[in-house]
Chains A and B, each alone.
Chain A
């Protein structure tokens, strides 16, 4: 059995993941490159005596690497030394894709081109001369329809045959102007004496990258004490000029290949233009978007509700079963409250998260989400954020965890950090039970208005936070909004399903372990020292609450509220459950709260504001750490949340006392 390592490369939205799924089926796992949060998926396909190992790279337009996902793709292409590179090209838009081809050809690794969506190209009257394309590029080209699994066998045959050739591959060269080629050979000659520094890059290719302005490579060479001929003598303006000449040479080559091999036989109709004009309309765009999102959320919650109820029932049954067995009460509590309670609190979120991912990936597949980002960009821009931040914010009202994961599509690190820090202020579904309880007990008829006020307060705090961080920490503008709008396509159920499975599984893996661990810690705090009643004043949690209570005196919280806040760190809805335990049973909780002389409507409101703002739950915190990749920023996110919660709650208490007292 011979291993063949291939990299799947291509522009975004050309069907890379579909081809990957067609190639590898279910034999795949997600690998995560250290320090970077953009995934490279790996999978396998066995054919005859060959074991093809496929890595699916993030979609890129070029190898210049401006954003984290592009960097991952570039590093894999330039340093992992695969046996072959497979570029997927959208047959309906060849010219656009050939720019990347001109860069991949030069790497000098055997290449195969998979011409995808050939059925759509035929429908649109685009005729592609495959032989001519192969001759122009000196690379095998295979027609495929990844969605239907067509042409996959031919593709693997082509991959095996290019990797078995003994001779060095001779791809088409890019015709650079004379002014460039002389310098290229000068730099190339110089670099060949220090070829060991270049790793897998040939000196000639390294020279081209330097001319294109690869800062990474240039810095590496400078750090090793090299003085690069010509390049080091140019001023920045000259460098930009050269980089542009290289760019133009690539476009000229792409155009030449295009004109010889692609003929369009039909006049094009552009219904997409019309759809775009409606969906992104200056006035209608926003209401269309909001109703689309409203519908998505309604569907998420109504479709997941029966599953969540079922899960609760099943776990309730387990708990009962354990309670009916004769055993040591300490072990029983560990099994019932710790293990079963812990797994239950992880699983109860799973249906809504899976369904939300499913709906969002269907929306994304149709091409609409890119339009929505454009529609919201102006509004987000005025808040110091990027248009793409809007989707994560919206998801945050459901659950902060997938929302934080969704910030990966943001290219600039500053934009990502600001978005991640502000997401926890979006009042997630888990906080609602707390509001319902307190608003119901203390505000009666106006409870609905109070809850609405809390959602608005969260948004206001988020806006202020974003503006403040943009003004004082990440100075300057959010990165400019430039985005390709993918063609409208009919979403495929299987593709969306696979996507949902990946995302959902990732959530389970990451958040699940954290939530479960957190629940066990709280269980221990609530049941130790051995023999105390679960969650009582004598337990460790009770002692901790009483110890910390003085810090919350300015906010008017009694020790029970403080303990509930500590428990709320696991998941916000745990606040209600733990208050139930502390007040002697959930069935009498409402009357006990109403009768407690240390509480008042003002304090209840303050408590709800604090719950809204204070701290992301353990799961969200775990994901924040994962996505930001820095302990410092995670600490800042937590500290900022707690301080903000304290200050806003303090103001709330005094304003509320003043207004209600008057």
Chain B
């Protein structure tokens, strides 16, 4: 498991864990970024990322991206 902030553009990953609780984790949950979901990374700028889930795209700043632990898919 690696933080989402360390992945590269074009990677497909599966969310394995969301660190921490509180509002940030809940906000991620409401957007559908939950354990088991597959994400495609469509942009990476330093530690910020843009991910796509199905038809939805989300931008995550470095802080948020660091909290999402993912497993790369081959």
Q: Which residues of A contact B (CB under 8 A)?
A: 61-62, 64, 66, 92-93, 95-96, 99, 213, 236-237, 240, 243-244, 247-248, 251, 270, 272-273, 276-277, 280-282, 285, 370-371, 373-375, 377-378, 381, 387, 477, 480-485, 487
Contacts and interface: CB of A to CB of B under 8 A. Distances in A.
Given A387-B61, A481-B60, A66 B27 contact: yes
B50 interface: yes
Contact of B21 (A236, A247, A277): A236
Give the interface size bracket for B toward A. 20 to 34
Nearest to A96: B56
A482 B46 CA distance: 16
A488 to B, nearest CB: 10
Given A247-B34, A273-B52, A374-B48, A381 B26 contact: no
A484 B57 contact: yes
A62 B31 CA distance: 9
The 8 closest A-B pairs by CB, nearest first: A481-B61, A374-B59, A485-B57, A480-B63, A282-B45, A480-B64, A93-B55, A62-B30
Interface in B17-70: 21, 23-32, 34, 42-46, 48, 50, 52-64
B23 A485 contact: no
Nearest to B26: A64
Interface of A is mostly: helix
12 contacts: A61-B30, A64-B30, A66-B27, A96-B54, A243-B26, A276-B57, A277-B43, A280-B43, A285-B45, A378-B62, A482-B59, A484-B58
A166 to B, nearest CB: 35
Contacts, number: 108
A482 B27 contact: yes
A277 B50 CA distance: 9
B42 A273 contact: yes
A604 B64 CA distance: 48
B50 A93 contact: no
Contacts of A371: 59
B64 A482 contact: yes
Nearest to B45: A282
A621 B31 CA distance: 36
Contacts of B64: 480-482
Contact of A280 (B50, B53, B55): B50
A282 B46 contact: yes
Contacts of B52: 270, 273
A482 B56 contact: no
Nearest to A486: B57
A247 B26 CA distance: 9
A99 B33 CA distance: 12
Contacts of B63: 477, 480-481
Given A277-B43, A480-B64, A482-B64, A272 B30 contact: no
